[in-house]
Copies of this chain bind each other. A is one copy, B any other.
């Protein structure tokens, strides 16, 4: 029996990707479109207010390519709130003109080895800001889910805990080289969704995603042990750009 890595878990996380049904949307009269968008913008404002109260966080991005058109990512203290947000969006009028494209359910996660203090790590401010993070509104986002392989000799879960720790440390060192360029949010999804982790990256320069992930791929954790799901790449969609985005 291996020794599981312990985790510090923070806010629950919901990624929701939607495609827009442009054909139907164009059929809507202009003033109705305006009122539909006003309803959606007011929902985004609620998300922003929640974030201002530090009771959660959100991000809104437009996705490039046919996989989806928009992505929203929400952090909240409970799974119940995530469900309510999803349901609230589904009941908006804008939702009638969107098609579900992908979603991901997870929780912000930190390896316990990141905490060298004593007592409850959730009372340590430097830990708190990592597991209850305010999502950056940087220009670009990259999201992908992943799991660790359990195949033949490449079985992550059969490695001794110490070896896993060393591998993760060296893996983390690569990420650290990109500090200030790429902001990384790791969310755990074992038991919550089909992969084991969601990785959400934010950058001002989109090329930094490629450089970081490509460099990591040569590292043993990725090279031998990681399997990656679909990749989504997007540009930030600010609240005051929504009207223009949906203009037809």
Contact = CB atoms under 8 A, between A and B. Distances in A.
Interface of A: 1-4, 7, 9, 12, 14, 16, 20, 22-23, 26, 62, 64-67, 69, 78-80, 82-83, 86-87, 90-91, 95-96, 100-105, 107, 140, 142, 144, 150-155, 157-158, 170, 174, 188-194, 201, 206-207, 209-210, 212-215, 217-220, 222-224, 230-231, 233, 235, 245, 248
A157 B216 CA distance: 10
B188 A210 contact: yes
A145 B131 CA distance: 30
Given A151-B152, A192-B206, 15 more contacts: A1-B218, A2-B218, A26-B96, A65-B104, A79-B140, A79-B233, A144-B191, A151-B151, A189-B210, A191-B201, A192-B209, A192-B210, A192-B233, A193-B233, A194-B230
A80 B102 CA distance: 22
A102 B194 CA distance: 14
A217 B190 contact: yes
A1 to B, nearest CB: 5
Contact of A223 (B26, B155, B210, B224): B155
B64 A83 contact: yes
A219 B1 contact: yes
The complex is assembled from copies of this chain, and their number is: 5
A150 to B, nearest CB: 6
A220 B190 contact: no
Nearest to A84: B235
Contacts of A102: 66
Contacts of A213: 190-191
8 contacts: A1-B220, A64-B79, A65-B86, A65-B104, A65-B105, A66-B102, A79-B206, A190-B214
Point out which of A82, A107, A170, A214 has the most chain B C-beta atoms below 10 A from its C-beta: A214
B66 A100 contact: yes
A4 B157 contact: no
A201 to B, nearest CB: 8
